[in-house]
Amino acid sequence: MRSDTHAALSSSREALADEIANGLAQFYGGDELYRHMLGIRYTTGVRYLAERAGAYWLIDAIASYQSGRKVRNNRRLQEFQLWELTVDLAARSCVLTCKEDSGEHEKPVITQEIEYTDFPLDYIKLYMEDGVLLLPSEH
Max alpha carbon distance in the chain (Å)?
A: 52
CATH number at residue 115: 3.10.450.150
pLDDT of residue 28: 86
Q: What is the pLDDT of residue 46?
A: 97
Residue-level pLDDT at 122: 96
Write out the chain's pLDDT in tens, 139 residues.
555 555 555 778 899 999 999 999 999 876 799 999 998 999 999 999 999 999 999 999 999 999 999 999 999 899 999 999 999 989 999 999 999 976 666 889 999 999 999 999 999 999 999 999 999 999 8
pLDDT score for 139 = 84
Structural domain that includes position 61: 3-138
User: Which residues does residue 134 pair with via DSSP β-bridges, in sequence order?
Assistant: 127
Q: How many domains does the chain have?
A: 1
State how far the alpha carbon of 66 is from the alpha carbons of 39, 48, 55, 101, 119, in Å.
9, 22, 18, 16, 22
pLDDT attached to residue 4 = 58
Cα–Cα distance for residue pair 73/129, rounded to 1 Å: 16
What is the reported pLDDT for 6?
Answer: 52
Q: How far apart are CA 116 and CA 138, in angstroms?
A: 29
pLDDT on residue 2: 55
pLDDT of residue 112: 98
Q: Which of 70, 73, 118 is nearest to 92 (CA)?
A: 118
Backbone angles phi and psi of 84, in degrees to 5: -130, 135
* 137 contacts 27 by C-beta, under 8 angstroms: yes
Residue 3 has a pLDDT of: 58
- 135 contacts 27 by C-beta, under 8 angstroms: yes
